[in-house]
Amino acid sequence: MKNHLKKIKRIFDYTDKSQYDYILNQSERSEKISNVMFEIFKKQLKQEDFMYYPNTKNFKEKICKFYNVKNENLFLSDGSDVGIKSVFETFTNRGKVITSEPSFPMYKVYSELYRCQYFGIHYDLDLLELPVDSMLNFVDDETDLIILANPNSPIGDSKTSEEIKLLLDTGKMVLIDEAYIEFSDNESMIQYIDEYPNLLVTRTFSKGFGAAGCRVGMTFGHKDTIELLSKFRQMYEITGVSMKYCDFLLNNYKLVDTYIREVREEKKRLVSMLKNYEVVDSNCNWIHFNNQDNNKKTKEILDKHKVLVKYCKLHPYGFRDNWCRMTIQPNITRQDFIKELVNG
């Protein structure tokens, strides 16, 4: 029995989403692709996709072509979450893991699972900023891994490639989590994987591609680094059905690109409309907002219209609760609940 496991706290969300008309709480895509396109996809499915173990060779080649890398640079996984877990399994040995706080909660969970020394460097409470120097100050010989979500969730800010290179120059393994990058103007670090053997970059089909239910993620890195990471590869990384849908999205990327563009445009529009609220914009597909009554009226309006959002502290060490985190969807500003929020 591993006694340290007893101290690890996990939170699972089992919200019944069927009672809501709008699902805007977890950065998922809630606007469906057209019925015509979905029927085209369904016609591609075969019974064999459910019966046999998947052969991912052609799918991996298509991913590599899309991201302009070689096959040897790709580690495919059951969501980028599993890719991150595999990085911990491969490259940590109870040393220090340095990341930002707040950030993706699984960084801390995996640090605890693998008995690493977790160092979550806090964002500035007022400015909601975290200079890279603040992370560099904690790097020493005991450091196993540096993790940076770029853009960050839940703060929503981004670091430049030049700032990230300062982390890489330490020589320590650096993992850049680019789950939300499609919604930002960030320069992807994938282009630097051959230059920096200590660089790993995770991407996902969950956010920009809008296929969170498929659980398909990718980790990109130098061929030697990916070779080591692949020692922890699952026998079959993803399901045949998930592979087929993500392959369909790559073949019809205009669907994805249009969705991303519309979300970014709607986010700008919504931020400009919420004049009665304090708004924290993001480089992701969501915003935070609050008002003087701590969103009590907001909750009444959204509950009335059956809108599921997330209420949280913007910063875990802050003093204000009940920030409303709302995922942005195309045409969201045309919805009655938004009009009521704006006029309320």
pTM of the model: 0.95
Strands 286-290 and 278-280: antiparallel
Kindly give the confidence (pLDDT) of every residue in the chain, 344 residues in length, as a single tens digit, with 9 standing for 90 and above. 578 888 888 877 788 889 999 999 989 998 899 999 999 999 999 999 999 999 999 999 999 999 999 999 999 999 999 999 999 999 999 999 999 998 999 999 999 999 999 999 999 877 788 999 999 999 999 999 999 999 998 889 999 999 999 999 999 999 999 999 999 999 999 999 999 999 999 999 999 999 999 999 999 999 999 999 999 998 999 999 999 999 999 999 999 999 999 999 999 999 999 998 999 999 999 999 988 787 889 999 999 999 999 988 766 656 567 789 999 999 999 999 999 999 87
Spatial distance between the Cα atoms of 71 and 68, rounded to a whole number of angstroms: 10
As a whole number of Å, the CA-based R_g of the chain is 21
Tokens of 234: 């699952």
Spatial distance between the Cα atoms of 38 and 244, rounded to a whole number of angstroms: 12
CATH 3.90.1150.10-classified regions of the chain: 14-33+254-343
Strand order in the sheet with 117-122: 74-77, 217-221, 199-204, 173-177, 143-149, 96-101, 117-122
Spatial distance between the Cα atoms of 328 and 334, rounded to a whole number of angstroms: 12
- Kindly report the backbone phi and psi dihedral angles of residue 263, in degrees, each rounded to the nearest multiple of 5, phi listed first: -65, -45
45-251 has which fold? Aspartate Aminotransferase; domain 2 (3.40.640)
Give residue 220's Cα distance to chain centre: 15
Q: Which CATH class name applies to 14-33+254-343?
A: alpha beta
CATH 3.40.640.10-classified regions of the chain: 45-251
